[in-house]
Amino acid sequence: MRLFVAIDLSQELRERIRGVGKGLGPSFRKTDPDDVHLTLKFLGEVREEKLDKVKVALAAVRVPALKLESTKIGSFPHILWLGVKLNSELAQLQQEVQRAVRPFALNDPRSFKPHLTIARFDSLTPEDEAVLKELLKERLVERWKASGFTLYRSTLTPAGPRYEALARFP
Ligand code: 2AM
């Protein structure tokens, strides 16, 4: 099973992400705003027998009171995202989650860049190219409080990934 650990968003932030999505043309594959999350750690494929151990490891992580804040719209190749400020509580939680799941997880040397994936894209129409250029100038600041994190299972389907919450860690 493909697993990842993420923080859920506030309903207000989901609505703002929905608003951004309304301006996107057909060359963007939008994430359903109800599925958008802040990934702390992608574990990759984990054998089902290990699931209980993963849960025990995550249950030992102490979660600070987290005040989060979205920042600006940006892009990686093929991904349109909304950034999240990397404050010390978020950095600490991400490191602790990463440490807890290290025996079970993919070893990804990339540094943590907190982001919310709004849409994915390959080639863009000229209109969508112009939309992207404008969006990249925007900030979308929304504050929310996280009350914990969630272990998710991701199932890849032809219609895109489906996410299922397996356990919540308040
Ligand atoms: P993304 O939103 O930037 O694609 C489930 O796939 C979650 O884990 C997504 O939020 C995804 O981030 C994140 N993730 C991180 N590394 C990944 C990887 N190597 N493969 C798939 N998803 C990854």
Cβ neighbours around 46 below 10 Å, total: 18
* 85 within 8 A of 68, measured Cβ to Cβ: yes
CATH number for 6: 3.90.1140.10
Q: How far is the CA of 62 from the centre of ligand 1 (A)?
A: 23
Domain containing residue 104: 2-169
Residue 89: its pLDDT value, please? Answer: 96
Residues 123-142: pLDDT tens digits? Answer: 999 999 999 999 999 999 99
Q: Whose Cα sits closest to atom 9 in ligand 1?
A: 39
Residue-wise over 139-165: b if at least 16 C-beta within 10 A, else e?
Answer: ebebebebeebbbbbbeeeeeeeebee
User: Count of domains in the chain?
Assistant: 1
Residues 65-119: pLDDT tens digits? Answer: 899 999 999 999 999 999 999 999 999 999 999 999 999 998 888 999 999 999 9
Q: Whose Cα sits closest to atom 14 in ligand 1?
A: 42
User: To which H or E segment does residue 147 belong?
Assistant: none
Q: How far is the CA of 139 from the centre of ligand 1 (A)?
A: 23
Q: How far is the CA of 7 from the centre of ligand 1 (A)?
A: 13
Residue 57: its pLDDT value, please? Answer: 98
pLDDT above 90: residue 159 = no
